[in-house]
Amino acid sequence: SQTIRPCLTLDDLREKIKERGYDIKRSTLYYRLLPHRSNSID
């Protein structure tokens, strides 16, 4: 069985996703992880 370990950085998460065959831009990943109604100025 596979063990799922938490990723510490956004780059770690992107690399793990890439290993599964998906290529997601870093900025896209960042915005997907933000809560929907966060009043972030970014």
Q: What is the pLDDT of residues 4-18, one digit of tens each?
A: 777 788 888 889 889
The alpha helices in the chain, defined as continuous H runs, are 10-19, 26-33
Q: Which of 15-19, 30-34, 37-41 has the lowest mean pLDDT?
A: 37-41
pLDDT for 39 equals: 65
Judged against a pLDDT cut of 60, whether residue 28 lies above it is answered with yes
**What's the pTM value of the predicted model, to 2 decimals?**
0.56
Give the Cα-Cα-Cα angle 9, 15, 17 (nearest 5 degrees). Answer: 105
pLDDT for 40 equals: 58
What contacts 8, CB < 8 A, 6 or more positions away? none
Judged against a pLDDT cut of 90, whether residue 21 lies above it is answered with yes
pLDDT for 38 equals: 60
